[in-house]
Amino acid sequence: MKTEKENARKDDTNQDIHLQEPVQNDGFIPDVFPDETGGDELSESASDDSDEGASLLESRIEQLTSENARLNDQVLRERAEFANLRKRHNQETLQLEGKIAGKILQEILPALDALDQLLVAGETGVQVLDQFLDGSKLIRKQLWQAFEGLGIEEVNPVSLEFDPLSMEALSVTEVENIEFERVGVVYQKGYKFKERVIRPARVAVEKPKVVENDKAK
């Protein structure tokens, strides 16, 4: 009986010793931490992502800058077109006003000329009824006030330098002791509307007389 008990104890002891024996590793060490190569790959991957994000941001900035420049250019073009339209409208309005005023003036001028002749006749002693003369003066005054309200200017260039753009020469006479061509007589007054000639003044022109000595030269 002793022997069997002793043998049982030895078996238990051997089991305990076997359990406590260290596990043989055969030189293998578990790789707990990632090696340096794996860390570099993660770093390079993060760097690539950062470069790609910066590139996308730069591309977006360039796109927005280009779009902003395009919109600014469009605004400037539209402003220029609006300014041109307004300028053209103003020019067309002025031209229309000129045509209207010219038409009115052409219709009324004969009556105005007749009144002028009547007034000259009355002031030079021709027998004219005083009331008719006064009435004519009043009519002419009223007509001229209407013309001034339209912006019409009278061209009466007596003794002024001859201007072929606003005057029509009906005759030319050589005169001594003058230095330039001038208006000697105004046969019919001219009229302008805002610097636009509606009817040129009809005049007699005096020009410097050429002396014999000047001809010889």
Q: How many structural domains is the chain composed of?
A: 2
Q: Specify whether 139 is located in the same domain as 180.
A: no
CATH number at residue 197: 2.30.22.10
Residues 140 and 181 in one domain: no
Together in a domain, 137 and 96: yes
> What are the tens digits of pLDDT across the range 164-211?
999 999 999 999 889 999 999 999 999 998 888 999 999 999 999 887
For residue 155, count CB atoms less than 10 angstroms from its CB and return exposed for 0-12, middle for 13-18, buried for 19 or more: buried
pLDDT at position 134, please? 79
Task: Let me know whether 131 and 157 are in one domain.
Answer: no
Containing domain of residue 195, as a range?
153-217
Read off the amino acid at residue 166: S
- Say what the pLDDT of residue 19 is: 43
Nearest to 105 by CA among 150, 170, 166, 62: 150
- Same structural domain for residues 92 and 137? yes
Cβ neighbourhood burial of 147 (10 Å; 0-12, 13-18, 19+)? buried
For residue range 15-47, list pLDDT tens digits in order.
Answer: 544 444 444 545 544 554 455 555 555 555 666
For residue 55, being part of any structural domain is answered with: no
User: Measured between alpha carbons, how far is 58 from 8 in angstroms, rounded to an integer?
Assistant: 83
Residues 191 and 207: beta-carbon distance below 8 Å? no
